[in-house]
Structure formats: structure tokens, C-alpha cells
Amino acid sequence: MLKAGIISLHTSPLTQPGAGDSGGMNVYIREFVSSLTQAGVSCDVFVRKWNAELEPVVEVEPGFRVIHVPAGACDLAKEDLPGIVDEFTDWVRAWLVENPVDVLHANYWLSGVVGHQLKHPLDLPLVTTFHTLARVKAEMGDAEPQARIDAESQVVACSDAMVANAPEERRQLVELYHAYADRIEVIAPGVDRALFSPGSSAGARDAIGYEGGPLILFVGRIQPLKGLDVAVGALAAVDDPTAKLMVVGGASGQEGAAEVARIEEMVAGLGLEDRVLFVPPKPHYALSTYYRAADVVIMPSRSESFGLVALEAAACGIPVVAAAVGGLRTLVDDGVTGYLMEDRDPESYAAALNRILANPSLQASLGGAAARTASRYPWSGLAERLRDLYTELTAERTLVDCN
Ligand code: UDP
């Protein structure tokens, strides 16, 4: 049986997504590893021990273990994590000598650095999924340290394969990091349709206790990158004064708390206190009820490697109005499953929202098409492509060398 070492240094597939450092990547790892084990690949997932209470090894399901790696103080801030990468790597290396794997798969740049340091001494192929890239964030005004850019460049150069979540990410890797296109596999993430499927809007509203008019939903971590300010501005500009914006998620990252405060100030300044509802992060499985209760989901992100929220909303038959960035360009079929916005003007978003909210038959047809599109994204599709990739790389035995 093929065995993979999945590296996820900074965040665990077992944590609650929607706030802090936990979001789409956590869902992605939990789902693809679970599907991989069903596709015949057993996986050890290496996560930094971030809480003193954690068991050293957690068996999530047969063939899927999370290994908590002691490296640095449990409550270390994310910006200090580069300082413990070597300690983390040494520990994982010792573990892998005793418990060998056939392939390494790193997620996010910090784990890429670990994978790169492990692949040479252990002679293992390295697959990397970056999830976000510093140079892409910088293009949108979210500057990251040069050390991250340098590290990403090295990992790009020495990964035996990279997984891009969407064609746009492949282009970014090639144009911004000079990656060889033939080392990049574009493999979309998925959605669990047992959880996310169309259902009764009235029943969902009843379940979450929503009694208002049209409902615009924003789901995700609150940080500048996610563009919640654009969603609030759009609400202020929609025609229907009974429409509300529900925000499910919490502060994330160094700027998260300041962003929440800025948004609250904006809401008060616009006199929208009664029309913007803040809901703390909800367990992943419970989100389907929120999607079903909504008329439309808004996603005004500045950049987005994929955008799982857009796919989950679509799977529930809800149209999405999203920024035309990254994976959202692939996920949202403009005018068919929702609308893609080329600019960040709240008035443009409001115009798209108005079109949907004022026209129930358009809303239904966009939602129906969205649900059909989402059915093309099972997690098993990603897992099967990854299994084939791992098999190919382990058979080749000629690893990319950075020297
Ligand atoms: N999420 C969740 N509970 C919440 C808010 C978000 O489970 O309260 C999940 C959501 O369902 C999605 C993920 O967090 O699967 C966010 O992924 P996305 O790709 O949209 O954004 P990212 O966090 O990767 O920037």
C-alpha cells in the first residue's frame, strides 16, 4: 500500500475552520486525505503541536493519522513559525526513518520548506500545494516578507510536482515563480455533496432563526483579503431596504481583529447595524443550512487560490456573486451560475445582487446551474488524481535536484 507523508506545519485538519489560521486549507487536507485513504493510500499528516492537551498521534480513521510534532511553544504566533521550521523538520525526519513513507506532500510554503529539507536526505519525491502565494498577494496590495518569496521560489524549483487548485494558479506559478509548466498538475478541490446539497430555504431559515427579507451571505475568515468591506458597501447600495447581510466567520491573521473593528465601524457609519448580522464560525457540516437559507452568496476576495465557499454554496443551489480572481474564475460561470465582478466597486456588486434578488426565476435558474456545476467536483476526483501522481513519482525515482 502506498504511504504518503502529508505536511501541514501551521494548521490542523482537525480544527474548526472559519477563523484564526483555519480555513479552506484545513477542509482541503481533511477531505483529500480521507478520500485518499479510501483510494488506497494511507497518510500520516504532520501538524505542529499547537495545544499542550493534544495526543501525540490521533487516528482519525483507518489509514489517516495526525501526528502532532513538538516544535516551539504551543501558543507561538504564526509570524514566528519560520523560526521553528528546522526543529519541526528534524523531528519529522527522525519519525520517517522509523515510519517510512513513499512520497511527501507539503501544504503552504512553510510546509514546503520542511518538505524540501526532507526530500534530499530521505530521497523522496516532493509534491507541493501552495494554497496561497506571496507574489500573488503582493499584487493585490497584501505584502508578505521577502523571506517567504525566496522560500517559495526554492520550493517551486525543487518540487517534483506542484498541485494548482485552478488554471489561474498554474499561470501564477509559471509567470511569477518561473515554474516549469509540466511539473504542475491542475487538480480542483471538491465538495462533499452528502453535506452540501439543495434544500428547503424556508426550513433552513427556520433552523437558523432568520425571519428577515432577502438574505445575502458571506462565509469565511475575516481579514482584509476577503473584502468584507465591499460586501457591506454593496448591502448599503442594494435596492431592497429589507435585505440583510449575514457574515459567518471570525477574525483571522495579524490584521483580523483590526479588520473586524473597521467593518463594525463601517456598519455603524452606514447605519446598517440592524441589517448586518455577525454569526460566529460554525462547524463545517452546519454551514449547509446557512447556504440554503441564503438568496445569494457574496465573495469579494482580493485573491483566492480556489474558494471552497463558492463551491459549497453552488452545491446547495445558491448563486454566487464573486470577484473575478483566482479559482473563483473557474468556479463561477458568469451569467450562468452567478456573476463575476471585474472591479471592486460596491455599486457593481449591488447591481449584480439586485438582478438576482429582484428576479426569483433568474435566481432559481442560476442556482440550478450552480448545483449541476458543483456535481463535477467530488473529493474522490482529487484523491484519484493524487494517487496516480504519487504512483508515477515513486516509480520514476529520478528526483528534481536543486543543485
Ligand atoms: N468554514 C467553516 N465554518 C465557518 C466558516 C468557514 O467550516 O464558520 C469553511 C468553509 O465551509 C470553507 C472554508 O472554511 O470550506 C473556507 O474556505 P475558502 O477556500 O472559501 O477560504 P480560505 O479559508 O481558504 O481562504
363 phi, psi to nearest 5 deg: -55, -45
pLDDT of residue 20: 84
Verdict on whether the full-model pTM lies above 0.75: yes
DSSP 235-293: HHH-S-TT-EEEEE--B-STTHHHHHHHHHHHHHHTT-TTTEEEE----GGGHHHHHHH
If you measure from the C-alpha of residue 283 to the centroid of ligand 1, how many angstroms do you get, rounded to a whole number? 10
Report the amino acid identity of residue 51.
Answer: N
* Confidence check: pLDDT of 163 > 70: yes
Model confidence pLDDT, tens digit, residues 268-309: 999 999 999 999 999 999 999 999 999 999 999 999 989 999
Model confidence pLDDT, tens digit, residues 86-95: 999 999 999 9
Nearest-atom number in ligand 1 for the CA of 131 is 24
Model confidence pLDDT, tens digit, residues 96-119: 999 999 999 999 999 999 999 999
If you measure from the C-alpha of residue 131 to the centroid of ligand 1, how many angstroms do you get, rounded to a whole number? 13
Domain pair 2-190+378-396 / 201-374, same fold: yes
Segment 316-323 shows an average pLDDT of 98
pLDDT of residue 319: 98
Given pLDDT bands bounded at 50, 70 and 90, which one contains residue 398?
confident
Question: Residue 377 has what DSSP assignment?
Answer: -
Percent of the chain clearing pLDDT 90 (strictly above) = 93
Question: Are 57 and 4 in contact, with CB atoms under 8 Å apart?
Answer: no
pLDDT of residue 315: 98
Mean pLDDT of the chain: 96
Query: Domain boundaries in the chain?
Result: 2-190+378-396, 201-374
Question: Are 294 and 315 in contact, with CB atoms under 8 Å apart?
Answer: no
pLDDT of residue 403: 58
If you measure from the C-alpha of residue 357 to the centroid of ligand 1, how many angstroms do you get, rounded to a whole number? 24
CATH code of the region 2-190+378-396: 3.40.50.2000
Indicate the class that CATH gives domain 201-374: alpha beta
* Confidence check: pLDDT of 141 > 90: no
Q: Compute and round to an integer the Cα radius of gyration of the chain.
A: 21
Rounded to whole angstroms, the Cα distance separating 127 from 131 reads: 13
If you measure from the C-alpha of residue 24 to the centroid of ligand 1, how many angstroms do you get, rounded to a whole number? 5
pLDDT of residue 224: 94
Given pLDDT bands bounded at 50, 70 and 90, which one contains residue 143?
confident
- Which residue ranges have their beta carbon within 6 Å of ligand 1? 17-18, 23-25, 27, 219-221, 248-249, 281-282, 284, 287, 306-309, 312
Nearest-atom number in ligand 1 for the CA of 28 is 15
* Confidence check: pLDDT of 397 > 80: no
Rounded to whole angstroms, the Cα distance separating 98 from 36 reads: 22
Kindly report the protein residue whose alpha carbon is nearest to atom 17 of ligand 1: 24
